[in-house]
Amino acid sequence: MIGGLFRFFFFVLIVYAAYYIFQFWRALTRARKAPAPPRQIQGVMVKDDVCNTYIPKEEAIREVRDGRERFFCSEECRRKSRAG
């Protein structure tokens, strides 16, 4: 009876040690990875005249109408501009 109890506690100790080692190893591998630099957008911000949102010029939908260059944040805003 005591031998079985001893084996049980020994098994629990081994499982706990394995879990602790696994968690420690996982933390080390996370620490080694360099965090990704934040995404930086270079350039000029332009205004969508429909919804008054500022967006990066390189990501905007561009349209030239009546000799004037217009920028839109989405196709929906572009359609609204054409309609009204």
Predicted local distance difference test score (pLDDT) of residue 35: 75
Predicted local distance difference test score (pLDDT) of residue 54: 94
Q: How far is CA 46 from CA 9, 51, 62, 76, in A?
A: 67, 12, 10, 17
Listed as ranges, residues in the chain with pLDDT below 70 are: 1, 41
Predicted local distance difference test score (pLDDT) of residue 41: 61
Q: Please name every residue paired with 15 in a beta bridge, in sequence order, or none if there are none.
A: none
